[in-house]
Structure 1
Amino acid sequence: MTAQTAPRRRRRVRPQSVINYALALVVAFAYLFPLLFVLNTSLKSDQDFFRNPVGLVTSPQFGNFVEAWNRGHFGALIGNSVLYTLAAAGLGTLVSLMIGFPVSRGYFKHSRAWYGLFVVLLFLPNAIITQFQLLLRIGLYNSQLGYILIMAAAVGVGPILIAAYARSIPIELDEAAAVDGAGYWRYLFTFVVPLARPALATVFILQAIGIWNDIILATVLLPDRQKAPISLGLYAFQGTYNNEWGLLAAATLIVAAPLVVAFLALQRYLIGGIVGSVKG
């Protein structure tokens, strides 16, 4: 006897799955279309752009990226941005940890009021004049240290995310560490930091994005262009009467490329940190 193969069952396509995929495609298109449009513009000459701004490029001008790199002095400015991003985002993440964890555990009085303060601070405008006066009075105006400290202080949602994520860490672990004689700081950096790594990575990434893209504070606090971040290199392409749109688009992609690469490499930490904070 020959064994008869059982007929394969066809997977039923549920309407909800179709709707979910359709919505995902719409959201992906909404995010990718501006990036593709800028890429298309970056490969155009000025004549091609003004002839048809939204048309597809026919003769790609890859030299736009070389000229944009040289004219914007990105080679000299990218080191400043890397320094500001790593230092300020790292320090800001540390501050968020030192604030968010004790608030989540109730080690501060009126912890709910602290949560409310964190939320209110998200909606307050940036006090540029106050920050300018502060750095001027303490002698850190037009200094890299002063700029790093100001950017690190803008913790944003950092304390909220870390406080929410810390709720998923059993409080019994705190008690066990106290019984074993571990001090607070040893416990925080030896146990909490490894356990809260997804949330810390998320806070670091979010703050790094804001620091890398900052233009306003860098313009006000760093008048010396030798200390400017890479984002200020875009000013080299702003003309009085017209703009060279191809070069400007190429320069924009040069500035955004490190963030895109970093996001693709670290997205699993970002998603894990956000999901963990929501569950916590």
Structure 2
Amino acid sequence: MRINGKSIASNLVLIIVSLLILGPLFLILNISMKTTEEFLNNPVTIFKTLNWSNFKVAWIQAEMKVYFKNSFIYTIFGALGTCVIATLAAYPIARKHFKGSNLIYLLFLSAIFLPGGLVPLLFIMKFMGFTNTYYGFILMKIAYGLPIAIFILVGFVKGLPKELDEAAAIDGCGYFRYILTVVFPLIKPAFLTVAMLSAIGIWNDFINPYLFITDKEMRPLTSGLYMFFGQYSTNWTVLSAGIILVAAPLVLLYFFLQRFIISGVTSGAVKG
């Protein structure tokens, strides 16, 4: 049997990368199951018993019931808005239904690589009355997610046969009806990919809520984790449990959608 050196090197790199990613996750999970005494005595040893009380303390101390509600509102409406707007924009751009579609597409692509202007954004949000509001923060996150969403969806739409457009036009199918009944089912993997990427960006956002949401009752879940940091000490076991609670919903969502996400990203990257 012949040994392939490239295959061994690739597998070795994948193993190293997997350990670098899974190592910190296992460390956080291990700390979350320990008592404070066990953690202070030896932080790196494996927990002896399952200490679920840390999760209860984290849920109550960080007021996660309120923050979970806010995070779900921002994430669901932000991701859904990004997907709908990106789908409606990607189809005419991919089919070049108007003059300057290539220029519009180039502007969206440039927004992926250019940093966002924080000072102008602060001025616009304040001028339009979007600060400290649910809808203002959701609209801002939709704007942040549109460039990468349109990039993925345009690449996917370009791979659809144009004969479908002609057949729908002959049958008298309306423009928006065609997008809803024909285009949308065909780009479902890319749509779910965009939804997942948008949800991750909104759910994990930590800085923007502190800049644009001053009301504590309106801040998302990531802001609750900051409550565990004290001036002189930090309860690392409860903090680790809080991190697990924050990360768990997205991990479960990715677990169920990973097949669509992988196919959507690869298709959007190579088509067009």
Task: Give the TM-score of the pair, scaled to structure 1.
Answer: 0.88
Question: Per-residue deviation at 1:211?
Answer: 0.3
Matched, 1:208 2:199: yes
Question: Per-residue deviation at 1:41?
Answer: 1.6
Matches within 5 A, 1:46-61: 46-61=36-51
Tell me which amino acid in the other structure corresponds to 1:261.
L
Partner of 2:142: 152
Partner of 1:7: none
Check whether the contact 1:215–1:232 (CA below 8 A) recurs between aligned residues.
yes
Check whether the contact 1:161–1:274 (CA below 8 A) recurs between aligned residues.
yes
Check whether the contact 1:128–1:217 (CA below 8 A) recurs between aligned residues.
no
CA deviations 1:131-188 (Å, max 9, x no partner) are 3332322333211111111111112411000000111100111122222222221211
Check whether the contact 1:101–1:166 (CA below 8 A) recurs between aligned residues.
yes
CA distance, structure 2, for counterparts of residue 109 and residue 54 of structure 1: 61
Q: 1:105 aligns with which of 95, 100, 116?
A: 95
Q: 1:83 aligns with which of 66, 73, 76?
A: 73
CA distance, structure 2, for counterparts of residue 159 and residue 91 of structure 1: 13
What root-mean-square deviation, in Å, do the aligned CA atoms of Structure 1 and Structure 2 show?
Answer: 1.9
Q: 1:38 aligns with which of 19, 28, 34?
A: 28
CA distance, structure 2, for counterparts of residue 214 and residue 35 of structure 1: 19
User: Given the superposition, is the C-alpha separation of residues 137 and 279 from structure 1 closer, same or farther in structure 2, using an over 3 Å criterion?
Assistant: closer
Question: Could you list the runs of 5+ residues in structure 1 that have no partner in the other structure?
Answer: 1-11
CA distance, structure 2, for counterparts of residue 121 and residue 227 of structure 1: 28
CA deviations 1:114-133 (Å, max 9, x no partner) are 33322221122233333333
Matches within 5 A, 1:156-167: 156-167=147-158
User: Given the superposition, is the C-alpha separation of residues 264 and 116 from structure 1 closer, same or farther in structure 2, using an over 3 Å criterion?
Assistant: same
Check whether the contact 1:131–1:150 (CA below 8 A) recurs between aligned residues.
no
CA distance, structure 2, for counterparts of residue 144 and residue 161 of structure 1: 27
SS at match of 2:71: helix
Tell me which amino acid in the other structure corresponds to 1:230.
L
CA distance, structure 1, for counterparts of residue 49 and residue 8 of structure 2: 39
Question: Could you list the runs of 5+ residues in structure 2 that have no partner in the other structure?
Answer: none
Equivalenced residues, count:
269
Partner of 1:239: 230
Task: Give the TM-score of the pair, scaled to structure 2.
Answer: 0.91
Partner of 1:139: 129
CA distance, structure 1, for counterparts of residue 101 and residue 44 of structure 2: 53
Check whether the contact 1:88–1:151 (CA below 8 A) recurs between aligned residues.
yes
Tell me which amino acid in the other structure corresponds to 2:189.
P
Q: 1:199 aligns with which of 190, 193, 196?
A: 190
Identity of aligned residues (%): 34
User: Given the superposition, is the C-alpha separation of residues 125 and 278 from structure 1 closer, same or farther in structure 2, using an over 3 Å criterion?
Assistant: closer
Matched, 1:222 2:213: yes
